[in-house]
Structure 1
Amino acid sequence: MKEAVLIVEDEDKIARLLEMELSYEGYEVARASTGREGLALGLSGTWSVILLDIMLPELSGTEVLRRFRQTDEVTPVILLTARDAVPDKVSGLDSGANDYITKPFEIEEVLARIRACIRNRRIGEPAGQTDAQEEFPEISIGDLTIVPLMRKVTRGRDSIELTPKEYELLVYLMENRNQVLTREQIISKVWGYDFVGDTNVIDVYIRYLRKKVDYPYTRKLIHTHRGVGYSIRETEE
């Protein structure tokens, strides 16, 4: 079965270029030129990746993403944006996007980002329900627990709500608990091997995680290793 990509882009020239190149690469492609049309198509179909422009008529890409994530937390969404400031990029990722591409872009970069999103999603998919509990057991450190099959995070008796990217980052840290992970390792695993961007995005997301899983509690679990990276462990440095 072919991978399917939805392009939500109101600039016809860009949309036609993406459609042509993706079709040539073997993807099934659909297009929408307004936010409302893109949201309707996104919710009514099964997509491998959605390419979503930020500046759209009728509904902005940010609003489309917000409404889409209320129903679908799994389908990868790559934002297309002319804004290249780090706060803008982080805001988009924190809204539920999996990645972003700054305009103008090279088509090779778009293809690489799509492949990375598809690959990362496959890695996170259970092979089947029969042995799913054994293959995807709970992950715990101290009183912090993740239930992967339910995407549930708790600390003690508290349920913690995370954005998709915060969740992926926490899972990676906890799967490698008690190990120091470099920024390069985190970028490669959580954002994809083909990610091209600022590594300080990691620092921002670590700060987000700490606010939710560390700061409200006495025992801190996430540790900074200056000049190297981060780790999650019970023992203090």
Structure 2
Amino acid sequence: MPHTLLLAEDDRAIRHALERALTLEGYAVTAVADGDQALAAVRRDPPDVLVLDVMMPGTDGLQVCRALRAEGDRTPVLMLTALVETADRIAGLDAGADDYVVKPFDVEEVFARLRALLRRTGPPDDVPGEPRRASDGRIVAADLRLDPQARRVWRGSREIELTRTEFDLLELLARHAGTVLDHTTLYDRIWGYDFGPGSKNLAVYVGYLRRKLDEPGAPSPIHTVRGVGYVLREG
């Protein structure tokens, strides 16, 4: 069965071209022209992934994403944006988006990012320092408990709500707790490719995770190894 995809783009030419390209790539595409239509379509028949233009008349892509996340919808969202400032991209991540592509874009980049969003990170080979598994399949690392099947995470008794990409990143770090994962490995396993040396995408997501995990007297267990990458460990 092909993956179902909802595309919301108000520019007719871009919408038709992208719908055609995505269909040829093998997706079952539903294309709409604005945010209100997108919300109605998602609520009527939830897709596997959404592609949302940020700047649409009426209800824009950020508002669509916020509304879905507020309803508990965790469908992965790829944003299309003509805004190139870092603050604009962070606004998209704040709204609950999982990734973004800046216009004008190469359609192959869109394909790659969609593949990464839809790919489930498989269990890695055993490595030194790998965290223990609870009898119910949960991962226990530092003072975190992760349930990969339900995609839930707790720190102590507090459950922490994460976006799909945030959970994927934390799960990867937790599965390799105590082992430093370099930037290239993290980009490859989470996004499917490396954004390049100038990208701040990984740092932005680590920052979001740290803020969500931080507690008074108990800072985030995600540590930076300068010039290398990140590691999850206590202390």
Alignment TM-score, normalising by the size of structure 1: 0.84
Q: How many residues align?
A: 225
Alignment of 1:119-198 (within 5 A): 119-120=119-120, 137-190=137-190, 192-194=191-193, 196=195, 198=198
Q: Which amino acid aligns with 1:193?
A: G
Deviation larger for 7-16 or 36-45 = 36-45
Determine helix, strand or coil for the equivalent of 1:42. Answer: helix
Partner of residue 130, structure 1: none
C-alpha deviation, 1:21, in angstroms = 1.5
Partner of residue 222, structure 1: 222
CA contact (8 A) 2:77 2:97 kept: yes
Partner of residue 127, structure 1: none
C-alpha deviation, 1:110, in angstroms = 1.7
C-alpha deviation, 1:136, in angstroms = 7.2
State how far apart, in whole Å, the 1-side matches of 2:199 and 2:182 are: 10
State how far apart, in whole Å, the 1-side matches of 2:194 and 2:41 are: 27
State how far apart, in whole Å, the 1-side matches of 2:159 and 2:134 are: 23
Alignment of 1:52-67 (within 5 A): 52-67=52-67
Determine helix, strand or coil for the equivalent of 1:149. Answer: coil
Alignment TM-score, normalising by the size of structure 2: 0.84
CA contact (8 A) 2:181 2:229 kept: yes
C-alpha deviation, 1:215, in angstroms = 4.7
Q: Which amino acid aligns with 1:69?
A: R
Q: Percent identity?
A: 38
The alignment's C-alpha RMSD in Å is 2.5
Partner of residue 128, structure 2: none
Determine helix, strand or coil for the equivalent of 2:10. Answer: coil
Partner of residue 213, structure 1: 213
1:42 aligns with 2:42: yes
State how far apart, in whole Å, the 1-side matches of 2:186 and 2:106 are: 25
Q: Which has the higher helix share?
A: 1
CA contact (8 A) 1:80 1:103 kept: yes
C-alpha deviation, 1:220, in angstroms = 5.4
C-alpha deviation, 1:97, in angstroms = 1.5
Distance 1:202 1:150, change over 3 A: same
Distance 1:84 1:123, change over 3 A: farther
Instruction: Provide, for residues 118-149 of structure 1, a one-character-per-residue CA deviation record: whole Å limited to 9, x for no partner.
Output: 224x859xxxxxxxx98971111232212223
Determine helix, strand or coil for the equivalent of 2:223. Answer: strand
Structure 1 consecutive aligned stretches of length 4 or more whose deviation exceeds 6 Å: 133-136
C-alpha deviation, 1:211, in angstroms = 2.4
